[in-house]
Amino acid sequence: MKKLNLINKLIYLINNVAAILLLIGYTLPYISPKFASSFSVLSLTVPVLMILNLLFVIYWLVSLKKHFLLSLVCLAIGYFVSSPLYKFSNKTNQANNQISIMTYNVRLFNKFDWIKDRKIPSKINDFVKNENPDVLCIQEFHPSSPINYPYSYIHTAKENPHFGHAIYSKFKIINKGAFDFKNTSNNALFIDVVNGLDTMRIYNIHLESHRLDINKQNFDQKSSEKLLKRLRREFVKQQEQVEQIIAHKSKCRYPVILCGDFNNTAYSWTYNKLISNMKDSFIDVGTGFGKTFDLKHIPMRIDFIFADKAFIFTAHKNYNIKYSDHEPIMAKIGV
């Protein structure tokens, strides 16, 4: 520090704060939101903290200063203990009896014109037809949906029949159900289908939304305190919802595929609990940032496809299309 000028001393101080926060972020998947909800909120910022620490590494290297080691060590720790922010290459797996599954939060098919394009519903329908997934899980469904499949299960909220979630399938649905979460329009659906000789269960979940919008959010002190309080409350709600899903899933005798909009990152308690004894399609065979949510160019991955370890992921694809505030993902799965 003694050899640094005043500006670099200030930069290194900020570097220290970013490094410490990132290290704390690595512990958040193991801390219950009910126990420390304020810390849990930090999990949303881990992708940003990783990028910030990478920028510090570059800055100090260009400046020919050994201070780059602080952030470099923090990032190296994350490589071994945390989910990767970026996948440089994807491996190739082979499997039999493959199916393709897509998850997509369609934001009510743009019912309220968030995007100034009246053709969004037909564009989503054309996209689905072109990609042709065997199973399609939709969050924030609206009954005006143009999508058509041989089999489907649609469930709308009790208090709002124009808002719900849906699962479309090419395979016959032999069992289905839904459980609404308390005091929210979010819920989870499941279907049991027979693919060849195998029966499997597919969950479509939509966890508590944070309703974050950087473009509209006012970040003065009063608004920030209000936002933090709301986020803390919503993280606790998510925990209750995850516990309900896990309890329900534990009673299933079939292999399980679980997908949907988690409204949380891979650095959260939510992700850590749901991924237990399962695997993530992006981690297994994906590449790039895996971004699924549009948040001011920040690579937020909050939509996921998980499968029991008995399954084999053979492909994962992210789609950079702007028909919603989310972007769809699709995985191919076999045995």
Phi and psi of 246, rounded to 5°? -60, -40
Of 306, 303, 329, the C-alpha closest to 318 is: 329
Q: What's the predicted TM-score (pTM) here?
A: 0.92
pLDDT reported for residue 211 = 65
Say how far apart CA 10 and CA 4 lie, in whole Å: 9
Q: Which residues of 93-128 are buried (b: 16+ CB within 10 A; e: fewer)?
A: eeeeebbbbbbbbbbbbbbeeeeeeeebbebbeeeb
- Tell whether 196 is covered by a domain: yes
More confident residue, 68 or 298: 68
Strand partners, 316: 331
Answer with the one of 53, 81, 109 that is the final residue of a domain.
81
pLDDT reported for residue 180 = 79
pLDDT tens-digit map of 154-190: 998 777 778 899 999 999 999 999 987 887 888 899 9
The whole-number average pLDDT for the span 267-294 is 95
pLDDT band, very low/low/confident/very high, at 191 (cuts 50, 70, 90): very high
Lowest mean pLDDT among 37-46, 91-100, 209-218: 209-218
| 3-state SS, residue 281 | helix
Identify whether the C-beta of residue 227 lies closer than 8 Å to the C-beta of residue 38: no
Q: Are residues 103 and 72 in the same domain?
A: no
The whole-number average pLDDT for the span 235-241 is 92
Q: Are residues 228 and 300 in the same domain?
A: yes
The residue type found at 195 is N
Q: Which domain holds residue 23?
A: 6-81
Identify whether the C-beta of residue 29 lies closer than 8 Å to the C-beta of residue 78: no
- Tell whether 265 is covered by a domain: yes
Strand partners, 261: 206, 303
Q: How many domains does the chain have?
A: 2
pLDDT reported for residue 108 = 94
Q: What percentage of residues in the chain have a pLDDT greater than 90?
A: 74
Q: Are residues 47 and 169 in the same domain?
A: no
Q: Are residues 20 and 165 in the same domain?
A: no
Of 50, 68, 87, the C-alpha closest to 298 is: 50
pLDDT reported for residue 294 = 80
| 3-state SS, residue 81 | helix
pLDDT reported for residue 219 = 47
Q: Are residues 76 and 147 in the same domain?
A: no
